[in-house]
Amino acid sequence: MKEQVGKSNFAKPLGNWLKRAIETGSHNELIDKVLETTAKAMSDPDTVNAINEKVNDLIEDYKSDSALKFIGLNIAEKLKLIDKQIISEKIQNGLNTFLRELRTDSDHPIRQKLDNSLINFADGLSRGDESSLEIIDSIKQKLMSNAELGKIISDLLRKAKTSLDEQLESNDTSLMKIVAKNIESAAKEFSNNKESQMRFNDWIKETAIQLINSYHHKIGEMVRESLWKLDDTALVGQIEEKVGNDLQFIRLNGAVIGFFAGAVIKIIKLAI
């Protein structure tokens, strides 16, 4: 797996894909999903505890700078002028507000800067810019040098599978909405594009001919095996079902031809 990662050259395809996604705006749905997931993570108990611990560490570090700061902060804490819990909550609320603004406003200055950075990065990858390629190479090297690469990828795949299963459970999930939107757009474009329809028809015909030429013996065996499994009644029923009105026409032709053939033979016998 490490060897495959090292040999992979996906910089240019990644750059082209990323550029198209930004130009069409389809990347916004992915960014919204990331922001939504981040907002949920902010409310996670582990995240809250981490923020509390960080606030406490910062205050303790500030106290250690000087005796005056130590005394002043201790007095402020005793008088409830400084409440670590309130500080942590304000930081968390501020981050949630910021994430909500990013999600609801696609024209937010930060999102615009992010788009511009992504476009520059995508252009760099497409052009083979060294600074952009160095970022990709750095990621590849970190992946290859990580002794737990296999475990990390396995965990990522497991989480991705779980997330995919959840997204596929209902047609109302964000993933299914994206899929339905793209399918509807592709179907509409295909229905209005005669050239694409002709190419598709030609491909169907060519594929069908290739399959028949390559596997005609298998097809014959399947047909023979299916017919041998049928008794006389079932076989007649299959013929009548598939042939239908044509079978009645064949029967009528046979009766008419038989009548005339019999009449001719009778006339010949009488003449002799």
What is the dihedral angle through the alpha carbons of 146, 148, 150, 155, rounded to the nearest 10 degrees?
-120
Confidence at residue 38, expressed as pLDDT on a 0 to 100 scale: 81
State the helix-helix crossing angle for 109-127 and 27-42, rounded to 10 degrees.
Answer: 120
CA neighbor of 22 nearest in space, from 110, 97, 118 = 118
Average pLDDT, 10 consecutive residues per value, the chain (272 residues): 52 76 76 80 80 80 74 71 77 84 84 84 79 73 61 67 76 76 81 85 86 81 79 73 63 66 69 62
pTM of the model: 0.40
Q: Quick one: three-class SS letters along 182-201?
A: HHHHHHHHHHCCHHHHHHHH
CA distance 56 to 58: 5
Tokens 């252009």 sit on residue: 123
- Type of residue numbered 267: I
Closest CA to 187 of 196, 178, 198: 196
Q: From residue 249, give the alpha-carbon distance in Å to each of 75, 87, 252, 263.
A: 108, 91, 5, 21
Q: Which two tokens stand for residue 240?
A: 């009548």
Domain boundaries defined on the chain? 2-145, 196-271
Select from 26, 16, 193 the least CA-distant residue to 122.
16
Three-class SS state of 176: helix
Which pLDDT value is given to residue 156?
A: 65
